[in-house]
Every structure is written in C-alpha cells, then in structure tokens.
Structure 1
C-alpha cells in the first residue's frame, strides 16, 4: 500500500516524507502525539548525527517556504 513508512512527524520526519513524496513514493507519516499547530524545532540533540542534520533541514524548510509562498515557521 505504501512504499515507505516514516515514524515521527518532527522536522526531520516531515522533511523525509516530503523528499520521498517528491520522488513519487507513496508515504505514510506516523505521529504518536497530537501536537496541534505547534512543534519545538531545535539544533541541539543528544545524538550528534541528528544535530548535524539540522542546518541542512532548516535550509530546505526555507526553500520550501519560498516555493510554496507559505510561512511555515513563526
């Protein structure tokens, strides 16, 4: 039914789902919590790998805002 399941809808999970969808993959995004319209987005993580991903993630979100003409971060 889906090509890929992505667990967690934070900035990295959402971006992963977005990139896969752009590649024409059928994506299921799973989120455990009902966060409403707000999420915490940060550069610091206890896992160095996640912290290293954040500068590129923010650059890509900025590009998505420009393409979509929507304000995603307030």
Structure 2
C-alpha cells in the first residue's frame, strides 16, 4: 500500500481594502481553476486557483459584494 503526502501551500491574496466575506474556487476547467473573492470593498477579484496570482477585478459594483455564484452552480 502506497502512502502519499499532500503538501498544502497557503495562498496570500493581497489587494482588497476591506474584509473578504466570500472566497470560492471554481470548477476545474480545461485551462485551470480559479479563486474568486467577494469583498466589502465592492471589487470582487479573480485569481489563479493554484498560486493566488491576480487575473482581474470586477469593477462597477455600487457597494459591498457578499457572495459569488458561478454559472455551473446555478445549473446544478
């Protein structure tokens, strides 16, 4: 019987100016998987799921963003 140790690496995601209230990983796609953060600063951010590297921000909300739901979560 083989035993494999999984190494967990913490991700630091700088950029928000207010508390993060929701943090979700996307489903795995053919490209990768992503990390989406919803925050009281009103600017959700999209990051690489394995490194936490910033990809982009969703600008235009008039207030805090409390959660994020992907299209696949709606269809389930």
Q: TM-score range by the shorter chain?
A: under 0.3
Q: 1 or 2, which has the higher strand percentage?
A: 2
Q: 1 or 2, which has the higher helix percentage?
A: 1
Larger radius of gyration: 2
TM-score w.r.t. the length of structure 2 is 0.23
